[in-house]
Amino acid sequence: MTEKATEKATEKATEKVTERVTEKVAVLGTGKIGEALLSGMIRSGWSPSDLLVTARRPERAAELRARYGVEAVSNADAAKIADTLILTVKPQDMGALLDELAPHVPADRLVISGAAGIPTAFFEARLAAGTPVVRVMTNTPALVDEAMSVISAGSHATEEHLAHAEAIFGGVGKTLRVPETQQDAATALSGSGPAYFYFLVEAMTDAGILLGLPRDKAHDLIVQAAIGAAVMLRDSGEHPVKLREAVTSPAGTTISAIRELESHGVRAALIAALEAARDRSRELASGNG
């Protein structure tokens, strides 16, 4: 299929999704990520009257109701009322939630999982036969509409269901489809990714203080450098090696710093860290939480 034909097929699927797949969406277990998604959906045009939330604590449910004008319901009622269920509880709580939902979820409901490590087969085995499940790993920049949400289809999910998931998560950033076999790797890179950058900023801020800068000035310098570098990576289309080389003059300051990073094994440490994150995602899938 040509790129143009693919785009047309996706557009048609999106139109069908709007008409048929969902009328109401429920976010179950509305913590930080769930709330970020909820607020992003409202900003992107969803009506609060079409959105439901569930929360473990009554005071949290009341807070969401007051803040967003959405209806707070029980998990069972959400399963009965909503056409799409977005499950945002922690991986270790997902089994108990599915046990609660299973008697109330008809096979025509779209179930979207935001839990790290848990495969779509886990949901399909606990819900009515034929229930469409879509797995999504997003990240905390959803709070500022700059999330990266990685989307995979379960065995019963159609193009319409995937397009609908993209429409929802597109309200808080970018989306990318991958085969489910790549989800653990995507979790390591993207789901956990913001934490690595925060860690680097923290370390560089400490270095700035060591070099004689006040903390606030070191922080501002590093954050703006990070923003500028990210925008250049996104917009220039250049390989990161070329962008780095453009900053690296012969016998200059940058190459001296790069030499130290390489001699301390920073590249190898990052690769090992991402492998560890991927392996932990696999452990969560196997129930070793």
Q: Along the 289 residues of the chain, how does pLDDT read in single tens digits?
A: 444 544 554 454 444 444 434 489 999 999 888 999 999 999 989 999 999 999 999 999 999 999 999 999 999 999 999 999 999 998 889 999 999 999 999 999 999 999 988 999 999 999 999 999 999 999 999 989 999 999 999 999 999 999 999 999 999 999 999 999 999 999 999 999 999 999 999 999 999 999 999 999 999 999 999 999 999 999 999 999 999 999 999 999 999 999 999 999 999 999 999 999 999 988 877 765 5
Q: What's the pLDDT score for residue 289?
A: 56
Q: Is the dihedral of CA 182, 184, 187, 189 positive or negative?
A: negative
User: pTM for the whole thing?
Assistant: 0.84
C-alpha 48/C-alpha 68 separation (Å) is: 7
Residue 54 CA to residue 61 CA, distance in Å, equals 7
Q: How far is CA 66 from the centre of its chain?
A: 25
d(CA 141, CA 148): 8
